[in-house]
Amino acid sequence: MAAKQRAVLGGGCFWCLDAAYRQFKGIETSVAGYAGGHTANPTYEEVQTQTTGHAEVVQLTFDPAIITYKDILEVFWAIHDPTSMNRQGNDVGEEYRSIILYANAEQKAQAEASCKTAQKLWDKPIVTQIVLLEEFYQAEEAHQDFFAKNPHLGYCQAIINPKLHKIQESFVKLLK
């Protein structure tokens, strides 16, 4: 039995990534949080000021015998625009940047290779940062599993639902 692994990714609002990755077999936990910055234990309000350097991210715990890191990265490239600097749709700011935070040399190599493959799908250059994960900070409880708790909110309907539909069409074999 393979040991559980972790992946930390940011691609816009963490509510979107969290809702998306919860759809897949092998994802055991998805935790919204902050990473890639320079302030210890940042709050949502602090991250929103764009003074902490953090991105909104999700930390996934997954079973690589069911879903691989490569699969997780393939989904990542498909559910956000990695060519948009510090922006996803109407969400603007460095906290919404596209970022992969790797845990080890193997994840770094896979992320870099995956980025090269994904670039073939985009006309503009991919601006996703691929950096070493130094620290992950869990976001406040209100941000955990946000979509499931608030499915009828306008943001969830207008932004998250279309991403979930795209996943359901594109990644059928990986879905729960």
Predicted confidence (pLDDT) at residue 2 exceeds the cutoff of 80? no
Catalytic residue, chosen from 13, 16, 115, 156, is 13
Computed from CA positions of residues 22, 11, 62, 38, in that sequence, does the dihedral angle turn out positive or negative?
negative
115 is annotated as an active-site residue: no
Computed over its alpha carbons, how large is the radius of gyration of the chain?
15
- Confidence (pTM): 0.96
| Locus of tokens 């992950």 | 136
Which one, of 116, 20, 25, 104, lies nearest residue 63 by Cα?
A: 25
The mean pLDDT value for 155-172 works out to 94
Give the full edge-to-edge strand order of the sheet including 98-102. Answer: 129-132, 98-102, 5-11, 55-62, 27-35, 136-138
pLDDT category of residue 99 using cuts at 50, 70 and 90: very high
Is the pLDDT reported for residue 12 higher than 70?
A: yes
111: closest CA among 100, 126, 97? 100
**Mean pLDDT score across all residues of the chain:** 96
Where do the structural domains in the chain lie, given as residue ranges? 5-170
The predicted-structure confidence for 51-91, as pLDDT tens digits, reads as follows 999 999 999 999 999 999 999 999 999 999 999 999 998 89
**Topology of the domain covering 5-170:** Peptide Methionine Sulfoxide Reductase; Chain A (3.30.1060)
